[in-house]
Chain A
Amino acid sequence: MQITLDKLKINQKGTIVAVKGQGVTRRRLFDMGVTPGALVTLIKLAPLGDPLEINIRNYELTLRKDEAKNVILEVEDN
């Protein structure tokens, strides 16, 4: 099943399939290792519900839900 990163549940894992969007935001995501094939785990949400904290390539990255919407993941059905 494919979902966008902002829909991931806490501690749920997914594999990146595609990164949409354009310009600075997309380039930044690539540079930080958010590229197809990478495994992502959602660690937590900020106290006010946004931004997100994810674990990718063995480090912690934070990004907003708006930016996370561009990242498409393959997750296991449950």
Chain B
Amino acid sequence: MIRVALAGNPNSGKTTLFNSLTGSTAHVGNWPGVTVDKKEGTYKKGKEPVNIIDLPGIYSLSPYTPEEVIARNYIIDERPDCIINIVDATNLERNLYLTTQLLEMDVPVVIALNMIDVLDKNKDKIDIKGLEKEIGVPVVAISALKEENLTTLMDEVINFSKVERKGTTILKKCKAYPIIEHIQKQLEDDNLFSSLFHAIKLAENDEIEIKMHPKQYEYVLKEKENIKDPIFENDLEAIIADARYKYISKHFSSKLTKSDRLEEIKDKNGNFVKKEKRSISDRIDRVLTNRVFGILIFVVILFFVFHLTFGEDLFYLSAMGAFSSLGDEFALASGTTFEGILFSSGGIQSPGVFLQTVVIGFTDWITELVSQGLTSLGAYNWAVAFICDGLLAGIFSVLSFLPQILLLFLFFSFLEDSGYMARVAFILDRIFRKFGVSGRAFMPLIMGFGCSIPAMTNTRTLATEKERIATVRVIPFFSCSAKLPILTACAGAIVSLFGVGNADLITLGMYFSGIIIAIIALLFMRNTTLRGETPPFIMELPAYHLPQFKSLMIHLWDKAKHFIKKAFTIILISNILIWFLQSFTPSWQYIEYVEGEGFLTSVTTNDSILAQIGMIIQPLFTPLGFGSQLGSFGWVFAVGAITGLIAKENVIATFAMLGAVVANVIDPSTLPGSLELYEGASDVALMIQATGINIPGIIAFIVFNMTTIPCFAAVATAKAELKKGTLKNTIAFWLITSYIAASAFYLIGTWWWTLFIYLALAAGVIVFIYFYNKKHPIKPQGAATI
């Protein structure tokens, strides 16, 4: 089959073209060793099937970003039969800069001149035949969005892919050309594929080429001393880049005639004057990145995204008391199946919560059905429990999060595809640079409040590897939706039992603590282990446009598949393991627990393997306030903390199960009634009564859960997203950070004067890092490595 690579600038319509050509045949993989998506598909409408590989969107073939290295390695190593170079006709000069480099390779190239419909609309004219003659390869005008002329394009590609093509260059008149020509001849004698490309890159000081051809590079260094350019002296990199752009403006983009874009506007005196017309995109941008309102608009957009995904009170009807006044009308619906799905006592639900409720309702129904079926078949109790509580509960707990994760993905993809995300980075870069990351890191971090998994995947937009690692590591500190039940339950218990504070304020305070820990951790990493120059922030701000529905859906479907595959295996196995450990005693006696009825066996969870393990590790948590000092029931906090490493939903679920054990010791009826106000708080309160844990200890428990290993699914995502070998350190980072942070909260909360010890230690560390870094300056950044 003919193999064709699709290359072009980001925002040139490449994804749209790829989707139009390949349709449902497309599938996503990863390029070896990196997490840049590799998309492949087949074009079947031509006289021959064509395999199309979508190269990453790039501006150049220089070796500084992983995307550029992937693209050039693919073309050099895999030698596709043809390259389709998609060129945005509305942004000709910068797009053709990449074209001039692609043409230097020994591969047939066909240029797909995209957005020709926009050009027509603007009444701009382009001389396609003239352009084709100048460039020397076929040029086909298309509209990827309207699927215009795609057949002509692919016919041309199929024909041209049969042709042998030698690389050509526009640098013949450039001062560096004699050097290039000399090296090319040498490389050609060695039978090197795309010798012209290699020779030019070598002259451009390209680090990958220097390593490959050290002998020839010596020649470059020697010869360039003889070049004297009035502006660039002997800087070949600058001379070549300049020569490319000069040639493009003179020979290529001159084929475009723009209409004058003037409109008549009445001025103050009532006279008609001609003024340059502003595009819609410009007008939108004036509002969205407004100096005064820009940040405010952004906050509002973000609020709506989260509210539509996670909000339980969509229109704030409940908060405004509307539910009670509308009581009669809703009474009609209450008791029907609509209750709990469309609305609850908390108000009308957001689409995210609605979908989640539907999924949970459906999966509960299946579990019930399976459980009844198995029982009627005469299965053992433990077997029914294993299948329903271990196996199915594991799968379904993941599925219940899928709707909200996908919805969050959908909103963020929409913002990304529309061009707004680039503006968010633009607005916030000033703040985030102070923490050692660029403005682009903001989006993944804020997504962390929803779920760490999509957030970690979103770090792919970051420019450097170090920035990515640092961001992935602190994402969990932005407390995700699964951690919220821990916060509300613990806060509710504190307020009811100790009669201090306000549950909402405690919860909010914990969220802020997470952010502060994240900032400290970022600053620490960017000054020590992940030290490096602040990555440059040089980014295109693409014109706004309405995202294509088809692209969004394809994107969403890919994400869903990815998430299910990754999360399923790991959550499933861990769930089965936990179920097993808490359902059996070390002597393999089965512990039977039925919700509402308590334990049916003489052994309880207190005798389980899990409890035994909990008691062994309990002393580890003593400096954190929930270890040995809590006595014989203290292991529940240790177990809660450990099961939380697998999934944060486990923490409160574990408490609920263990609450039944503790209920034999403490009479639940002696607890304050106000606990009923907070979900899960009564279980926590039982634990507090049984163990005598103090407030700083509970806070430390929350902090530990917020900053430690977030969940197995997130670990699996981090593993896939980060370079090999980084995962170990990342897990160590989470464990150490949570240990230090939680113990600080406990110790300072219990003995306030320890604050001074911490401050002194922190000052010592800062001074040490400062002087160490001063002695060891950073080396300038080199080529990207894969």
Of the listed stretches B398-406, B534-542, B647-655, B690-698, chain A binds: B534-542
**Cβ of B81 < 8 Å from any Cβ of A?**
no
Contact of B536 among A17, A19, A24, A61 (CB under 8 A): A24
**Cβ of A12 < 8 Å from any Cβ of B?**
no
Q: Are A28 and B93 in contact (CB under 8 A)?
A: no
Q: CA–CA, A10 to B225, complex, Å?
A: 41
Known: A27-B62, A27-B64, A35-B242. A51 touches B541 (CB 8 A): no
Known: A36-B231, A47-B294. A30 touches B238 (CB 8 A): yes
Q: Are B237 and A47 in contact (CB under 8 A)?
A: no
Q: Are B290 and A62 in contact (CB under 8 A)?
A: no
Q: Are B289 and A47 in contact (CB under 8 A)?
A: yes
Of the listed stretches B320-328, B426-434, B562-570, chain A binds: B426-434
Residues of B near A30 (CB, < 8 A) are 237-238, 241-242
Q: CA–CA, A26 to B536, complex, Å?
A: 10
Residues in B519-537 with C-beta less than 8 Å from chain A:
536-537
Distance (whole angstroms) from the CB of B132 to the closest CB of chain A: 21
Residues of A near B540 (CB, < 8 A) are 32, 59-62
**Cβ of A46 < 8 Å from any Cβ of B?**
yes
Residues in A13-54 with C-beta less than 8 Å from chain B:
17-19, 22-33, 35-38, 44-51, 53
Residues of B near A29 (CB, < 8 A) are 538
Q: Are B93 and A31 in contact (CB under 8 A)?
A: no
Residues of A near B426 (CB, < 8 A) are 46, 51, 53, 62
Q: Are A37 and B93 in contact (CB under 8 A)?
A: no
Q: Are B289 and A28 in contact (CB under 8 A)?
A: no
Contact of A47 among B90, B231, B241, B295 (CB under 8 A): B295
Interface size, chain A (Cβ < 8 Å): 37
Q: Are A19 and B291 in contact (CB under 8 A)?
A: no
Known: A31-B59, A33-B93, A67-B537. A46 touches B430 (CB 8 A): yes
Q: Are B64 and A48 in contact (CB under 8 A)?
A: no
Please give me the residue from chain A that is nearest to B92 by CB atom.
A58
Please give me the residue from chain A that is nearest to B438 by CB atom.
A64
Q: CA–CA, A29 to B97, complex, Å?
A: 13
Q: Are B539 and A37 in contact (CB under 8 A)?
A: no
**Cβ of A57 < 8 Å from any Cβ of B?**
yes
Residues of B near A61 (CB, < 8 A) are 538-541
Q: CA–CA, A36 to B239, complex, Å?
A: 10
Q: CA–CA, A24 to B430, complex, Å?
A: 20
Contact of B94 among A36, A45, A53, A57 (CB under 8 A): A57
Distance (whole angstroms) from the CB of A49 to the closest CB of chain B: 7
Q: Are B429 and A50 in contact (CB under 8 A)?
A: yes
Q: Are B231 and A25 in contact (CB under 8 A)?
A: no
Q: Which residues of B contact A (CB under 8 A)?
A: 59-60, 62, 64, 90-94, 97, 231, 237-238, 241-242, 245-246, 249, 289-292, 294-295, 422, 426-427, 429-431, 433, 536-543, 780-781
Would you list 29 pairs from A and B whose C-beta atoms are within 8 A, ordered by A residue? Answer: A18-B231, A22-B780, A25-B538, A28-B64, A30-B237, A30-B241, A30-B242, A31-B241, A33-B93, A36-B231, A44-B289, A44-B291, A45-B291, A46-B289, A46-B429, A47-B289, A47-B291, A47-B292, A49-B430, A51-B426, A53-B426, A57-B91, A58-B91, A59-B540, A60-B540, A62-B539, A63-B536, A63-B538, A67-B536
